[in-house]
Amino acid sequence: MNTRFAPELAVTRWFNSPKSLTLAGLRGRPVLIHAFQMLCPGCVIHGTPQAQKAHMMFRDSDLQVIGLHTVFEHHDAMNPGALEAYIHEFRLTMPIAVDQPGEGTPTPVTMRRLGLRGTPSSVLIGRDGSIRHHGFGQEDDMAVGALIAAAIAEKPFTPALAAAGTDDADACTDEFCPAP
């Protein structure tokens, strides 16, 4: 894993988003990923309300907040249907992705790619796609606000290929090659 650049999301289902989001598609914008489990106390009580607050507070900026349901235990209890009820009852409105289950391991794919130690975890990605902050456990609101604002304050990223003049959306980037 490249520790500097955020690996792509692997998602099986989205809530609160009309379309699938990808980090590649969000390049140029700051992204806050909040990794959580719906039955994780530190998530329910602190982390997820904090991420939802950031989603609301920075809604006039180009920050993208993404909740990532990284289930690594109690898979039956935290299935997508249960998550949907949870999102409804807790009135979460940020886009929330279901991390792709791992094969032969309880740890889901994106969680493994990001090297997360558990939940709640936060990953703040800069406009250039690099990881600016990696938090685990309860984080201070003032610090989170400052980290996000610093990421927003950077000038919007101009992707190299675009700067070079191509409009070819089908061309490979250093992140991926789109299928034809």
Closest CB to a copy of itself among 141 and 168? 141
Q: How far apart are CA 151 and CA 122, in angstroms?
A: 14
Of 11-19, 53-61, 94-102, 109-117, the segment contacting a copy of itself by CB under 8 A is: 53-61
Q: Any alpha helices (H) in 58-140, and if so which ranges? A: 80-89, 109-114
Q: How far is CA 151 from the centre of its chain?
A: 15
Closest CB to a copy of itself among 9 and 125? 125
Q: How far is the CB of 161 from a copy of itself (least distance, A)?
A: 26
What are the structure tokens assigned to 133, written together? 């902050």
- 176 touching a copy of itself, by CB under 8 A: no
Q: How far apart are CA 138 and CA 140, in angstroms?
A: 7
DSSP state, 20?
A: -
CB-based burial label for 34 (10 Å; 0-12, 13-18, 19+):
buried
Residue 126 exposure: Cα atoms within 13 Å on the Cβ side = 16
| Distances from the Cα of 59 to the Cα of 7, 109, 141, angstroms | 24, 28, 17
Of 4-12, 108-116, 144-152, 170-178, the segment contacting a copy of itself by CB under 8 A is: 144-152
**Contacts with a copy of itself, 12-51, as mask; x by CB under 8 A:** ---------------------------xxx--xx----x-
Within positions 74 to 103, which residues make up the interface with a copy of itself, using CB under 8 A? 74, 76-78, 81-82, 84-86, 88-91
Closest CB to a copy of itself among 9 and 38? 38
Cβ atoms of 107 and 116 closer than 8 Å: no
- 149 touching a copy of itself, by CB under 8 A: yes
Q: How far is the CB of 176 from a copy of itself (least distance, A)?
A: 26
Number of separate helices (H) and strands (E) present in the chain = 7, 6
Q: How far is the CB of 14 from a copy of itself (least distance, A)?
A: 18
Residue numbers at the binding site for a copy of itself (CB under 8 A): 39-41, 44-45, 50, 53-54, 57-58, 73-74, 76-78, 81-82, 84-86, 88-91, 140-150, 152-154
